[in-house]
């Protein structure tokens, strides 16, 4: 029985370690290489699985920390906007109790309704709304590049291509684990799959224009989803307001109830506009700039390859 369990335990530990390495942010790629190397040197036993699970938890912790550090300021600004508006309303004599009372129901109608509308219009290959939000909050994949890292990488790439059999040498280095590759000092670049796509296409002497265009289309899909979601938020805010007004019309003869119901109904369109134009639209615009920053990196790599590979 032990002879059967040990290989399964070893296989599971390797799978968990691979998952842990893949979950690490790009600037911790060296940790992933160390995890993969360490798992094969450990003895069989229950400690092997505990160690692999510890790697998974460490990977999740690093990924969460990277996400918070990258998008924390954006999330804070997003949360401050509605608080600022409610506070200003209270300063100028508004009844915030009406807003707070109507807000949960209106928010549920607007957010869920806009998600449903976006999901209905979702095209093949598009991300969902949550995936698009995660991509936008993650921002640029190359934002962590050090000031001279790009120039050093291009210099090393050019030097390798100038050697005899340079394209084959670079292709072989790309197939190696990053820890054993000559490009191991550039994890932020090489852990971006689109950098590898550009390099492979350039080494194969493929036209890079269509390749770069395809990458930009793929990277821009979350932005398009966010913009559609923002439009849906406005429309669903209007729907929530109309639903609230219809409810208020049932008590038209009772002014003490009719007034608060109409005021609460207007929260729907207000909430939709604030979310769409104050949160989702700026987030989509920011993501578009991040995509352009990454595309500039891809174009520089493509230009270097086109100049050396003939």
Each residue's pLDDT tens digit, 93-106: 666 777 778 878 88
Report the pLDDT value the prediction gives residue 72, as an integer from 0 to 100.
54
Global pTM value: 0.69
**Residue 231 above 90 pLDDT?**
yes
User: Is the pLDDT score of 240 beyond 50?
Assistant: yes
Burial of residue 136 (CB within 10 Å: 0-12, 13-18, 19+) is buried
Q: Which of 56-65, 124-133, 157-166 has the lowest mean pLDDT?
A: 56-65
- Of 15-19, 96-100, 109-113, give the range with the top mean pLDDT: 109-113
Flag whether pLDDT at 67 surpasses 80: no
**pLDDT, tens digit (0-9, with 9 covering 90-100), for 143-172:** 777 778 888 888 888 888 888 888 888 888
CA proximity to 175, closest of 207, 203, 208: 203
Mean pLDDT of 35-63: 74
Q: Given a cut of 60, is residue 204 above it in pLDDT?
A: yes
Give the number of residues written for the chain: 310
Give the pLDDT score at 1. Answer: 46
Token digits of residue 134:
């995660």
> Smallest Cα–Cα separation from 132: which of 297, 25, 271, 286?
286
């Amino acid at each position: 029985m032990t002879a059967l369990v040990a290989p399964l335990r070893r296989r599971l530990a390797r799978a968990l370690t691979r998952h842990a390495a893949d979950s690490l942010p790009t600037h911790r790629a060296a940790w992933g290489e160390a995890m993969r190397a360490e798992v094969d040197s450990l003895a069989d036993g229950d400690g092997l699985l505990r160690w692999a699970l510890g790697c998974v938890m460490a990977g999740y912790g690093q990924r969460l920390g990277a996400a918070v550090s990258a998008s924390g300021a954006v999330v804070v600004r997003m949360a401050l906007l509605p608080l600022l508006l409610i506070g200003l309303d209270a300063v100028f004599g508004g009844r915030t109790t009406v807003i707070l009372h109507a807000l949960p129901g209106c928010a549920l109608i607007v957010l869920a309704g806009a998600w449903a509308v976006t999901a209905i219009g979702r095209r093949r290959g598009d991300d969902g709304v949550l995936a698009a939000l995660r991509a936008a909050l993650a921002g640029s994949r190359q934002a962590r590049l050090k000031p001279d890292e790009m120039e050093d990488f291009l210099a090393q790439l050019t030097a390798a291509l100038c050697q005899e059999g340079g394209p084959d040498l670079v292709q072989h280095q790309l197939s190696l684990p990053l820890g054993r590759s000559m490009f191991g000092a550039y994890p932020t670049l090489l852990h971006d799959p689109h950098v590898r796509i550009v390099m492979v296409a350039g080494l194969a002497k493929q036209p890079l224009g269509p390749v770069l265009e395809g990458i930009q289309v793929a990277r821009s899909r979350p932005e398009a989803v966010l913009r559609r979601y923002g439009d849906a938020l406005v429309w669903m805010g209007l729907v929530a307001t109309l639903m609230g007004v219809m409810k208020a019309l049932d008590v038209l003869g009772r002014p003490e109830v009719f007034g608060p119901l109409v005021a609460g109904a207007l929260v729907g369109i207000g909430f939709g506009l604030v979310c769409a134009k104050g949160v989702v639209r700026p987030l989509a615009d920011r993501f578009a700039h991040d995509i352009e920053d990454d595309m500039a990196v891809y174009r520089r790599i493509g230009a270097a390859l086109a100049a050396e590979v003939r």
